[in-house]
Chain A
Amino acid sequence: MDKRRFGSLYNDGWRLRFQMSRRLSVMMMTWEFPPRIVGGISPHVYHLSKSLAKNGVKVYVVTCDFPGAPEHEILDGVEVFRIDSYKNPSPDFATWVYLMNMNLQKEAATIANRVSGKVDIFHAHDWLVASAGVGLKHVFRKPLLVTVHSTEIGRRNGIHSDYQRMIHETESWLTYEAWKVICCSNYMISHVKWAFGLPEDKLTMIPNGVNTEESEKAKNTDLSPFRRKFALPEEKIILFVGRLVYEKGVHVLVSAIPKILEKVNAKFVIVGNGYMKEPLSNTVKSIGLAHKVIFTGFVDDETLRNLQACADVSVVPSLYEPFGIVAIEAMAAKSPVVVSDTGGLSEIVEHDKTGVKVYMNNPDSLAWGTNKVLLDENYAKSMSENAYKMVQEKYNWDKIAEQTKKVYESVLDDYAKSFWTNT
């Protein structure tokens, strides 16, 4: 950066300089980005970056490689660099992560050097890019932001080994080094505050988003042939989407099946895989209700959107849920939702207005909520319409990008007052 030429302007604040020279630019670091999809970070960073670019922010994404994906491309206005992430042999996953960070940081430093000081902010997603984020912050003397999507102490329900403690301390170090920490729900804000002892003013809540365009497509096609593959015309569809593991509470739904069927004729469609799939399908068989329940396993995105569009009710009976994107996706597809009153779900749903909240880990309560929705069409319709409006307003990626850009701007205001601007 040519500080001598812009020296006086620089001290007047970065805004002025920006208006004169160029737009705000951010370098995102993430271990997954489409087409590489491991979990929720990949679609999150993709939609956020795309919407930021639409909002006038120059976005560089530095991420791990994927077979067939180009090393460098401009994707929906976002400049993406994919690095060789399997260069070094590694004894275990965590060591792979730190070695990948060494390579990612090497490439990111090359890119940032090449664009000569035009990266204003480094934005890291989870501990998987912690050391690269911290390193680049100090080397280029630019602010580091982190989005904490989940924590080791939350994923493991405590820290039980040195391996987990190392990851926990890495997360703590990353949040310590970050100028601001973004979380996707108030639940996560308080969790992260507790887990790493962070001050309140360092934390910002910006919700996760949902792409309503994809759900819109499903609604505009005739889904009755698709629906027939899953249920009889007179059967209601009750949809569950999630990994079939304990914390998702799918066993609570299975326990509620007889109670629900007492009052409505319905088909239960259970989407996802997990270690509970076999025991649960055995339970369903043993109580003679196998013809009422379909375990679909993992399905592709299109099938999922169509199922959500067909569903008469979507149930999310989780016991642990940091955010609950699946409830928002169902809302975007105009499916009424029944959720357990816990974690991020508690924040998303307003009882009787945008959905039904039921007691956590309670099959009777879940059956009551589900039947309430299925037996009263007007009630169901008004809720799904309210929910759809709410999702469009609150969980809209353009709005989220706007909020994120505001955080960038406020961090750059702080930065303008720091001695780092004079280096």
Chain B
Amino acid sequence: MRVIIFSWEYPPRVVGKLADYVRELAVQLVKNEVRVYVVTYHDFLTGLYEEQEGPNTYRITNPVRTHIGVLTWVLTLNQEAERVASNIYYDVAKQIALIDVHDWHFIPAAVTLKKAFDLPFIYSIDSLEDHRAHSANSPFNMAIKSIEWLGMYEAKTILVKSEWMQDEAYRVYKVPIEKVKVVKPESRIWIKDVLEAYTMTGGGSVSK
């Protein structure tokens, strides 16, 4: 099974705890015979980085250097994510099972790729705008929420890290609870849960 992982943070670029989580996920997936392609952002360490018995990492930078805010910055960066993911897709003769998108940043790219290639994606929620900016409803916050909503709507599966977040996804976005799977990082069977979700979403067996 081949999967693409989208995350806006990944070591050595660590913004919050998401970077280390995605790194651990990628490493564990490789150990379980999943071919992993991580697409992430770095301002200057761009291009492909291959590891012996590890995931492949493609680091992209923003094609537009000047921005007025994080939204415009994210939206032009998405085109590079789309470009790199498309190149991977064609390089492996279209044999990609799914894209796993961590948080909202690369939802736009995942949605376009889904529509173009009939390629399903998983939306893995680490945090929501409603928690990051409590009850803020400026156009800026609402725009981010609308992208999160798009992700919830278009994703085939939503993964969260706690039952609390499962309830929050329902509370904020009215996502049917069956669409949201809990995979607890602290659990001993965490990677098994992730693999199960991947198999359900991408179809077929894991080691293919």
Q: Which A residues are within 8 Å of any B CB, using their own CB?
A: 87-92, 94-95, 98-99, 101-102, 105-107, 109-110, 112-113, 131, 134-135, 138-141, 162-163, 165-166, 169-170, 173, 423
Q: Residue A88 contacts which of B63, B67, B90, B143 (CB distance < 8 angstroms)?
A: B143
Per-residue interface assignment for chain B, residues 57 to 85, with 1 indicating a CB less than 8 Å from any chain A CB and 0 otherwise: 00000011111110110011011001100
Complex CA–CA separation, A98 to B108 (angstroms): 11
Query: Which residues of the partner chain B approach A139 to less than 8 Å between Cβ atoms?
Result: 82, 86, 112-113, 116-117
Q: Which of A91, A113, A423 contacts B138 (CB 8 A)?
A: A91
The reply to whether A113 and B146 contact each other, CB–CB distance below 8 Å, is no
Residue of chain A at shortest CB distance from B145: A89
Whether A169 pairs with B90 at a CB distance below 8 angstroms is no
Q: Is the CB of B205 closer than 8 A to any CB of chain A?
A: no
Beta-carbon nearest neighbor of B64 in chain A: A169
- State whether B112 touches A109 (Cβ < 8 A): yes
Chain B stretch 111-143: residues in CB contact (< 8 A) with chain A? 111-113, 115-118, 138-140, 142-143
Which B residues contact A (CB, under 8 angstroms)? 63-69, 71-72, 75-76, 78-79, 82-83, 86-87, 90, 108-109, 111-113, 115-118, 138-140, 142-143, 146-147
Count of A-B contacts with CB under 8 A? 105
Decide if A140 touches B82 in the complex (CB within 8 Å): no
Flag if B86 contacts A138 (CB, 8 Å).
yes
Contact A89 B143 (CB under 8 A): yes
CB B102 to nearest CB in A, in angstroms, measures 18
Which residue of the partner chain, among A87, A109, A162, contacts B66 with CB atoms under 8 Å? A162
A107: chain B residues at CB < 8 Å are: 115
CB of A98 within 8 A of CB of B111, answer no
Residues of chain A contacted by B108 (CB below 8 angstroms): 102, 105-106
In the bound complex, do residue B64 and residue A140 qualify as a contact, i.e. CB atoms below 8 Å apart?
no
A89 to B148, CA, bound (A): 13
- Shortest Cβ distance from residue A105 to the other chain B in the assembled complex, whole angstroms: 5
A-B contact pairs, 25 of them (CB 8 A): A88-B146, A89-B139, A91-B140, A95-B68, A95-B71, A95-B72, A95-B143, A98-B72, A98-B76, A99-B143, A101-B75, A102-B111, A113-B115, A113-B116, A113-B117, A113-B118, A131-B78, A135-B78, A138-B79, A138-B82, A138-B83, A139-B112, A139-B116, A165-B66, A169-B66
Residues on the A chain within 8 Å of B142, using CB = 88-89
B71, B109, B112 interface centre (most CB from chain A within 10 Å): B112
Given contacts A90-B143, A95-B71, is CB(A166)–CB(B112) below 8 Å? Answer: no
Complex alpha-carbon distance, A163 and B67, angstroms: 7
The answer on a CB contact under 8 Å between B115 and A110 is yes
B64 touches A423 (CB 8 A): no
User: In the complex the two chains form, is A92's CB within 8 Å of B65's CB?
Assistant: no
Tell me which residues across on chain B come within 8 A of A99, comparing CB atoms: 71, 75, 143, 146
Contact A91 B67 (CB under 8 A): no
A131→B79 contact, CB < 8 A? yes
Specify which chain A residues have a CB less than 8 angstroms from the CB of B113 in the assembled complex.
109, 139
User: Smallest CB-CB separation from A171: which chain B residue?
Assistant: B64
Shortest C-beta distance, B48 to chain A (Å), equals: 16
Given A92-B68, A173-B64, A138 and B76 contact (CB-CB distance below 8 Å): no
Q: Do B83 and A162 touch across chains, with their CB atoms under 8 A apart? A: no
The answer to whether A162 touches B68 (Cβ under 8 A) is yes
Q: How far is the CB of A200 from chain B (nearest CB, A)?
A: 23
- Chain B proximity of A114: nearest CB distance (Å): 9
A93 to B86, CA, bound (A): 29
Determine if A131 and B76 form an interchain contact, defined as CB atoms under 8 angstroms apart: yes
Q: How far is the CB of A177 from chain B (nearest CB, A)?
A: 8
**In the complex, what's the smallest C-beta–C-beta distance from A362 to chain B, in angstroms?**
39
Contact A91 B112 (CB under 8 A): no
Pick from A102, A109, A170: contact of B64, CB under 8 Å: A170
A135–B147 CA distance with the chains assembled, in angstroms: 17
Closest Cβ of chain A to B125, distance in Å, is 19
Closest to A164 in B: B66
| From A102, A109, A141, A162, contact of B75 by CB (8 A) | A102
Known A101-B75, A106-B112, A135-B79; judge A169-B65 contact (CB<8 A).
yes
A162 with B67: in contact, given A89-B142, A94-B72, A138-B83 (CB under 8 Å)? yes
Q: Which residues of A contact B143 (CB under 8 A)?
A: 88-91, 95, 99
Q: A110-B116, A113-B115, A138-B87 are in contact. List 11 more A-B contacts (CB 8 A).
A: A89-B143, A91-B69, A91-B71, A95-B71, A98-B72, A101-B75, A102-B147, A113-B117, A113-B118, A131-B76, A135-B83
User: Quick check: A173 and B116 within 8 Å, CB to CB?
Assistant: no
Interface centre among A94, A95, A98, A173 (most CB of B within 10 A): A98
Closest 5 pairs (CB-CB, A-B): A89-B142, A98-B75, A109-B115, A138-B83, A109-B116
Contact A90 B139 (CB under 8 A): yes
Known: A88-B143, A98-B72, A102-B108. A134 touches B66 (CB 8 A): no
Closest chain-B Cβ to A116's Cβ sits at a distance in Å of: 11
Contact partner, A173, options B63, B78, B87, B117, Cβ 8 Å: B63
**Least distance between A141 CB and chain B CB atoms (Å):** 7
Q: Is the CB of A105 within 8 A of B72?
A: no
Contact: B71 with A98, CB < 8 Å?
Answer: yes
Q: Are A106 and B72 in contact, with the CB atoms below 8 A? A: no
Give Cα A170–Cα B75 distance, bound, in whole angstroms. 12
In whole angstroms, how far apart are the Cα atoms of A160 and B68 in the complex?
A: 13
CA distance A131 to B112 in the complex (A): 12
In the complex, which residue of chain A has the Cβ closest to the Cβ of B71? A95
Distance (Å) between the CB of A376 and the closest chain B CB? 54
Q: Is the CB of B146 within 8 A of A89?
A: yes
- In the complex formed, the residue of A with least CB distance to B140 is A91
Q: How far is the CB of B4 from chain A (nearest CB, A)?
A: 13
Q: How far is the CA of A98 from the CA of B79 in the complex (A)?
A: 11
A166 touches B72 (CB 8 A): yes
